[in-house]
Structure formats: structure tokens, C-alpha cells
């Protein structure tokens, strides 16, 4: 693929070989360079452990749950798609497919750039634009497994679960270990959907019940027997799928169940809210689980407030006792001199009073001197009487 840079654009403009396209290419290249410099905004995935953990537990994502929720807000409410493909789409609309292909192929794009751009367009639900970029990517790298996986996500976004499943299975042998784990989870979810079963609180690919040993749904709890059915590395993989298909309410609901099973009911509740309030996905089971987590969150908030109030009351009571104890009783009722703090206050007040008296006396003295000076000046100004002859 021809790599386009700003330097080559300027050189091409000077040669006059691509004057007609240099200005649009320059704008497109600048936008892509700025976009690609920002880096991918994907949730970090943990590496697969080299050995099974001694205790079966779900792995939390490498990033904090708060950061994940903050970043994922843009997945549901994305900004308008970049103007990166506007020229190519305009050419396609005019029927100039070859010119459009040259525009796409001449962009400064590596496989990583293609992947970031397609994922961004999928999140923005710009499926036609994502398909256009995927075609250019697959012309450059026809055997790219990552492109095939994103092609499956594109099919899935259009409601074509069977095509998505077929696409994943066609590249299974070319996947890396990390890609194979992600594709394996995706295949399980797609297989459920092709059978008419939506994943979420009511069903999951592992047949696990998100409940305690008594069969009750409890915040931050799941029985060891049920937890053993869930792969320990499934949570980071599920986050990746949600990042590529952020408008799937059932995926958000399943992600919430996994967070609660991992001991993070706060993030689980936020995932449930995303599914219900933002994406309008809801089931009776989801509503029941969401209410349990809301009650748990309220209890935690009330307990925290009570502990805070008790700490403030204890501190206030201690301060009140120290202020009221001005004297101390010793040896059967004898009293000692006032405490050091009260003695200091008395000394300060006494010195302040003396200072006021001294300043007042000095001021009175000054007034007397001033009056005497005026009297002398008045006497000296009178004319002396002349002696009689």
C-alpha cells in the first residue's frame, strides 16, 4: 500500500503529479495523523496466567473499574464520526469506486491504524463507514485475523449473527492464543443467539447461576460451585466485546453479572444501569438483580454515614469536656489553680487592659500639652501697652 505523508504530499504538489488530490489528501492525512497519535482507547487485557491460580476466582481488569466506566461512556454516546472518510464516501456516492478506493488505499494506514479506525466507527454505530475501511484493510491484508474478527462484529451489529459466526470459524486456525480466547467467547455468545437465546442474567454460555449456595442473588457473592463454571479470564475478554459492540444491552447485563461475581457490586450496578436506562434493555431477572444491588449500595452509604456521624459526635463530645473542665478536683475536694489555658487568657486580657490605660494616659497628656501651647501662643500675640509720658 502506498504510504502517504505530509512531506510526500508537499513534494507531490511541487511536481504537479497530484495537484488535484493533494489538498484533500493533506487534510485527510493530517486528520489521520492527529487521530492515530491519540492512541487506541481499548480496555487493557490481562495476560493469560502461566498456571492455574490456586483458588478459582475471576480476574478483574487491569485498569480500575471507575476508569473503565468513565471511558465506556463515550462508547454509548460517541461523538460524530471523523471527517476522515468524507471524500471517499462522496466519491462512492457518485459511482467513482476506483477513485474512492485510491483515496482509502493512499491514506497513511498501518494494520493498527485500520483496527483503531474500524473499532471507532463500530462504537459510533457507523457500520457503512466501518465496512468501507474494512474492505480497504482486507485488500491490504487479506489474511488478517483481526480484520476478520471485526468483520464478524460488523455482521453482528447488522443482526447477522450466523454470518458473524461463520466468519469467526473461518479464521480460527490463524488466531493467536489471545485472539483465540476472545474469539472463543464470542463464538459461544453468537451460538446462543443463533439458537434464539439472548445472553445476560437469565442465560450464559457456561451454564452458571450467579447466586450463593442457597440459590439467592447476593451482592458481591457467588457460590464456589457456580464460580468454578466461569473461566477466570472471562471478564477482560467480555470488556473487549462490549467495547466493540457497546449498544448491546444484553452484553452490558452479562458484564454486570461478571463484575458482581468478581466482588465489585458498584461497577456491576453501573453496568445494569447502562443496559436499562441507556440502551433500554431489561428483563425481570435484571430488574430484580438491579434492585438488590441498589439496596446494597444504599446500605453501604448509610453505614458509612453512620460511622462518620459517630466519629464527629465523639470528637465534639471530647472537645466539650475539655472546655468545661476549667478546674480539677484533687485530694477530697481541694481545687488547684486555673488551667494553663485559662491563665493565658487572663494574662492576655490583663495586658490588653493595661495597654489601653497607658495609651489613654498618653493621649490625655498630649491633649493637655496641646492646650497649653495654644494658650501661650494667644498671650504672645497681644500688643504690648505703651508707657505713659
260, 282, 310 - which closes a domain? 310
What pLDDT, on the 0 to 100 scale, is given for residue 359? 76
What pLDDT, on the 0 to 100 scale, is given for residue 108? 54
pLDDT tens-digit readout, 209-255? 999 999 999 999 999 999 999 999 999 999 999 998 998 999 999 99
User: 289 and 254 in contact (C-beta within 8 Å)?
Assistant: no
pLDDT tens-digit readout, 92-118? 777 777 766 666 665 556 778 788 888
For residue 52, being part of any structural domain is answered with: no
Same domain for 5 and 134, yes or no, is yes
For residue 65, being part of any structural domain is answered with: yes
For residue 319, being part of any structural domain is answered with: no
Output the average pLDDT for the chain.
Answer: 76
Which residues have a Cβ under 8 Å from the Cβ of 140 and sit 6 or more positions away?
A: 1, 105, 109, 111, 114
197, 212, 232 - which closes a domain? 197
Range of the domain at 165: 151-197
In the predicted structure, residue 6 carries a pLDDT above the cut 60? no
Same domain for 241 and 185, yes or no, is no
For residue 351, being part of any structural domain is answered with: no
For residue 359, being part of any structural domain is answered with: no
Higher confidence at residue 152 or residue 365? 152
Same domain for 231 and 171, yes or no, is no
Q: What is the mean pLDDT of residues 85-93?
A: 68
Q: What is the mean pLDDT of residues 77-105?
A: 61
Same domain for 213 and 186, yes or no, is no
pLDDT tens-digit readout, 251-277? 999 999 999 999 999 999 999 999 998
In the predicted structure, residue 8 carries a pLDDT above the cut 90? no
Same domain for 110 and 236, yes or no, is no
In the predicted structure, residue 36 carries a pLDDT above the cut 60? no
How many CB atoms are located within 10 Å of the residue 128 CB? Answer: 12
- CA 351, distance to chain mean position in Å, is 60
Same domain for 203 and 177, yes or no, is no
For residue 360, being part of any structural domain is answered with: no
What pLDDT, on the 0 to 100 scale, is given for residue 188? 96
C-beta pairs of 179-182 under 8 Å, 24+ apart in sequence: 179/145, 179/146, 179/149, 181/48, 181/233, 181/237, 182/149, 182/237, 182/240, 182/241
Against a cut of 0.75, is the pTM above it? no
Same domain for 235 and 296, yes or no, is yes
Label residue 356 by pLDDT band (50, 70, 90). confident
**Percentage of the chain modeled with pLDDT above 90:** 40
Same domain for 104 and 207, yes or no, is no
What pLDDT, on the 0 to 100 scale, is given for residue 180? 95
Same domain for 157 and 210, yes or no, is no
- CA 105, distance to chain mean position in Å, is 35
Same domain for 64 and 115, yes or no, is yes
For residue 370, being part of any structural domain is answered with: no
For residue 345, being part of any structural domain is answered with: no
pLDDT tens-digit readout, 294-306? 999 999 999 999 9
Strands in the chain per DSSP E: 329-330, 334-335
Same domain for 203 and 187, yes or no, is no
Same domain for 237 and 217, yes or no, is yes
292, 310, 328 - which closes a domain? 310
**Percentage of the chain modeled with pLDDT above 70:** 64
What pLDDT, on the 0 to 100 scale, is given for residue 107? 57
Helix (H), strand (E) at residue 346: helix 340-380
Domain total of the chain: 3
In terms of Cβ atoms closer than 10 Å to its own Cβ (0-12, 13-18, 19+), residue 122 is: buried
Amino acid at each position: 500500500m502506498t504510504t502517504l505523508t505530509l512531506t510526500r504530499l508537499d513534494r507531490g504538489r511541487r511536481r504537479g503529479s497530484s495537484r488535484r488530490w493533494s489538498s484533500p489528501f493533506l487534510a485527510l492525512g493530517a486528520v489521520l495523523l492527529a487521530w492515530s497519535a491519540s492512541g487506541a482507547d481499548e480496555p487493557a487485557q490481562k495476560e493469560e496466567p502461566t498456571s492455574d491460580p490456586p483458588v478459582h476466582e475471576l480476574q478483574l481488569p487491569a485498569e480500575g473499574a471507575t476508569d473503565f466506566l468513565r471511558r465506556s461512556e463515550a462508547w454509548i454516546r460517541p461523538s460524530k464520526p471523523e471527517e476522515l472518510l468524507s471524500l471517499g464516501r462522496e466519491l462512492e456516492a457518485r459511482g467513482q469506486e476506483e477513485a474512492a478506493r485510491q483515496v482509502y488505499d493512499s491514506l497513511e494506514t498501518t494494520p493498527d491504524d485500520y483496527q483503531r479506525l474500524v473499532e471507532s466507527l463500530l462504537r459510533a454505530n457507523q457500520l457503512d463507514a466501518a465496512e468501507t475501511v474494512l474492505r480497504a484493510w482486507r485488500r491490504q491484508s487479506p489474511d488478517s485475523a483481526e480484520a476478520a474478527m471485526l468483520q464478524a462484529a460488523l455482521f453482528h451489529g447488522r443482526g447477522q449473527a450466523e454470518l458473524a459466526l461463520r466468519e469467526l470459524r473461518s479464521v480460527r486456525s490463524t488466531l493467536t492464543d489471545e485472539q483465540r480466547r476472545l474469539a472463543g467467547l464470542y463464538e459461544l455468545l453468537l451460538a446462543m443467539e443463533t439458537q434464539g437465546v439472548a445472553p445476560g442474567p437469565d442465560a450464559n454460555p457456561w451454564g452458571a447461576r450467579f447466586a450463593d449456595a442457597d440459590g439467592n442473588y447476593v451482592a458481591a457473592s457467588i457460590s464456589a460451585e457456580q464460580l468454578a463454571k466461569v473461566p477466570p479470564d472471562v471478564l477482560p475478554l467480555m470488556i473487549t466485546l462490549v467495547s466493540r459492540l457497546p449498544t448491546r444491552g444484553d452484553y452490558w447485563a452479562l458484564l454486570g453479572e461478571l463484575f458482581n461475581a468478581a466482588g465489585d457490586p458498584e461497577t456491576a450496578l453501573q453496568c445494569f444501569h447502562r443496559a436499562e436506562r441507556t440502551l433500554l434493555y431489561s428483563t425481570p431477572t435484571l430488574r430484580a438483580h438491579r434492585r438488590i444491588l441498589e439496596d446494597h449500595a444504599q446500605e453501604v452509604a448509610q453505614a458509612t454515614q453512620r460511622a462518620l456521624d459517630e466519629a464527629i459526635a465523639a470528637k465534639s463530645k471530647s472537645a466539650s469536656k475539655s472546655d468545661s473542665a476549667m478546674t480539677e478536683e484533687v485530694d477530697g475536694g481541694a481545687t488547684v489553680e486555673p488551667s494553663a489555658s485559662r491563665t493565658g487568657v487572663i494574662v492576655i486580657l490583663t495586658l490588653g487592659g493595661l495597654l489601653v490605660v497607658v495609651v489613654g494616659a498618653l493621649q490625655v497628656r498630649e491633649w493637655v500639652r496641646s492646650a497649653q501651647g495654644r494658650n501661650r501662643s494667644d498671650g504672645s500675640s497681644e500688643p504690648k501697652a505703651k508707657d505713659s509720658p
